[in-house]
Amino acid sequence: MTAGFADAPPPERLPPADLGAERAVIGAVLHHAAVLDEAAELVSPEDFYRPAHAELFREMLRMRDAGRPVDAISLAAHLGDRLYQLGGASYLIDCMGSVPTPSNVAYYAEIVAEKAVRRGLVAAATRMSQLAYALPGDVDEDLVGRAHEYIDEVAGGGRSGRGRRLRRTPASEVTMRRLRWLWQNRIVLGGLTLLAGREGLGKSTVAVDLVAQVTRGELAGEFLGEPRPVIYVNSEDARDSTIVPRLVAAGADLERVVFLDAVSPTEDETPLVLPQDTRLLAEEIDDLKAALVVLDAATSVIDSTLDGDRDRQMRRGLEPISKLAADTGAGVVGIVHFGKRESADTGKLILGSIAWSQVARSVLAVARDEDTHQLVISSTKANLAPGDAPSLAVSLVPAAVETPDGITQVARVHWHGETTQRAEELLAASPEGEDRSLIAEAVTWLLGYLSDEKRAGSAGAGEILRAAKADGFNERLLQRARKRAHVSTHRTATGWTWTLDTGPRRQDDNPTQR
């Protein structure tokens, strides 16, 4: 009896696989699409043993990359007749029922990846066995080297290796193109720009003024003299009582401003959600030939299933928007909020993930100057600009707009021109945190410096700041002293000049049109 068992052939062994874990990965993603990014970091479609699972996972990745929602209904519609070859709609439901919570997707994905490695080792061992038994002349002389190659394929053929290849593009084959600006050196065409500031400052009012200038062809940049359409995606302020009255107050051509809503198959209107609706938004941009898309507020437009504090997930939401801008050539301006902390690093002030400032090509920071009660707009990130754009000072002034049911009051922007003040300086420290006696000392120093008979009330800003630094006054302190001392600034052929005021300043210059 014992001899009989010993002589029997060993039972056939199945390749390493865990179909239950594969179903759980599929089901977790169908439950909550946000975990697809986490799963994709650990497994690729080639890691699934069952072909149907590999195909389902591959299609979900394609839907995500195309900016489409990933759920059971959308996947079924996307697959069409192919769904029945992969198990049918009931199988998708079975997959969803196999996972207790989507948060465990990493656990199941690691099991799938580990089984894939084991299958790779089995395949490598089989190939090495065939290599070892091969007759002379059938293989290279370096058998050990070939065996190492098989093992290396397993070690390097994980999620980022299998099914992928690198494509060479010589620089000589890349067609160069010039950089184009919607607003010169501030809002780039084909990229994402953030308009950032603390809540309640009037960022949306500033954005509306820029929209109005684009529709009139008056914004200094690529389309100066050429009125262009604008798409306005709103999620906070009401269109009828706030946004449109602001547009009227700003002098916008309302025929060139378009609002967008998503419409379901049942004709229900829902807010636009990005990146799911990027393809539809791109079609609208191309159809309208829109020069600008405003996302107000940008954080409200991003898919709520993405964790706003996780950099990797937010990049998944923001990079398709950046690509949308690049593909359509439009400028995309996202309005975002700063937190209450104090910092000169505006990227760190943006609420949520640092990915916002990393993906954006330009950041325009807005801060309030408590001395002048004006808003200062500074370009705090402009990777593509040839140089620093001067800061601009604006005020929000009341405007009465007539509506069908009476007059409504809104705010509009009044431009004061360039300023040496920087938004990041205003954000770095609050006025309450400064020693009033130091400001008084700086005022006395500045008045004495400019009143010297050698200067006759006027001197270059650089000269003044260097002299002040040598005497222990930093630039922030001296800027505040300048306003208290009623010292005006103006640009000359040699740079900025500070002058003791002898008359009223001109307040009607709009620098956006220069």
- What are the pLDDT digits (tens) for 19-49? 999 999 999 999 988 889 888 888 999 899 9
User: Comparing 138-147, 254-263, 314-323, which segment has the lowest mean pLDDT?
Assistant: 138-147
> Beta strands 487-492 and 458-460: pairing type?
unpaired
Residue 387: which of 179, 174, 207 has the closest Cα?
A: 179
Strand partners for 399: 410
Contact yes or no for 188/384 (Cβ under 8 A): yes
Contact yes or no for 428/341 (Cβ under 8 A): no
- Burial label for 300, CB within 10 Å (0-12, 13-18, 19+), is middle
Question: Between 144 and 300, whose confidence is greater?
Answer: 300
Identity at 119, one-letter amino acid code:
R
Most confident of 27-41, 221-235, 361-375: 221-235
Q: Is pLDDT above 90 for 350?
A: no
Angle at 187 between CA 182 and CA 188, to 5 degrees: 75
Residues of the chain above pLDDT 90, percent: 40
Question: Between 126 and 25, whose confidence is greater?
Answer: 25
Region 291-314: mean pLDDT is 83
CA distances (Å), origin 7, targets 1, 10, 13, 238, 438: 10, 9, 17, 83, 98
For residue 479, what pLDDT band results from cuts at 50, 70 and 90? confident
Region 188-202: mean pLDDT is 92
Per-residue confidence (pLDDT) for residue 504, from 0 to 100: 46
Residue 183: which of 264, 90, 294 has the closest Cα?
A: 294
Show Cβ contacts of residue 248 under 8 Å, excluding neighbours closer than 6 positions. Answer: 254, 401
Per-residue confidence (pLDDT) for residue 163, from 0 to 100: 46
Per-residue confidence (pLDDT) for residue 1, from 0 to 100: 46
Tokens of 483: 């306003």
Q: Is pLDDT above 90 for 444?
A: no
Contact yes or no for 316/306 (Cβ under 8 A): yes
Dist. CA 329–CA 187, nearest whole Å: 12
Most confident of 3-17, 124-138, 320-334, 488-502: 320-334
Angle at 354 between CA 349 and CA 359, to 5 degrees: 120
Contact yes or no for 186/389 (Cβ under 8 A): yes
Per-residue confidence (pLDDT) for residue 399, from 0 to 100: 92
Region 258-271: mean pLDDT is 84
Per-residue confidence (pLDDT) for residue 378, from 0 to 100: 92
Q: E-assigned strands of 215-277? A: 230-234, 257-259, 262-263, 269-270
Residue 298: which of 310, 279, 314 has the closest Cα?
A: 314
Q: Is pLDDT above 90 for 330?
A: yes
Residue 452: how many CA atoms within 13 Å on its side-chain side? Answer: 10
Dist. CA 182–CA 192, nearest whole Å: 12
pTM: 0.61
Strand partners for 381: 363
Q: For the chain, give the mean pLDDT.
A: 84
For residue 314, what pLDDT band results from cuts at 50, 70 and 90? confident
Dist. CA 337–CA 299, nearest whole Å: 9
Hunting for tokens 């050539």 — which residue is that?
A: 329
For residue 483, what pLDDT band results from cuts at 50, 70 and 90? confident
Per-residue confidence (pLDDT) for residue 205, from 0 to 100: 95
Per-residue confidence (pLDDT) for residue 25, from 0 to 100: 94
User: Comparing 49-58, 214-223, 382-391, which segment has the lowest mean pLDDT?
Assistant: 382-391
Residue 495: which of 467, 461, 458, 468 has the closest Cα?
A: 461
Helix-, strand-, coil-residue percentages of the chain, each rounded to 5: 45, 20, 35
Dist. CA 363–CA 346, nearest whole Å: 8
User: Comparing 50-59, 214-223, 455-464, which segment has the lowest mean pLDDT?
Assistant: 455-464
Region 357-363: mean pLDDT is 87
Peptide linkage before 275 cis (omega within 30 of 0): yes
Q: Give the dihedral of Cα atoms 53, 59, 64, 66; nearest 10 deg.
A: 170
Region 236-257: mean pLDDT is 94
Sheet-wide strand order for 257-259: 257-259, 230-234, 292-296, 331-337, 192-197, 362-369, 374-382, 391-403, 406-419
Distance of CA 77 to the CA centre of its chain: 29
Question: Between 127 and 139, whose confidence is greater?
Answer: 127
- What are the pLDDT digits (tens) for 49-95? 999 999 999 999 999 888 888 999 999 999 998 999 899 999 999 99
Q: Is pLDDT above 90 for 427?
A: no
For residue 507, what pLDDT band results from cuts at 50, 70 and 90? very low
Sign of CA pseudo-dihedral 145, 168, 191, 323? negative
Distance of CA 421 to the CA centre of its chain: 27
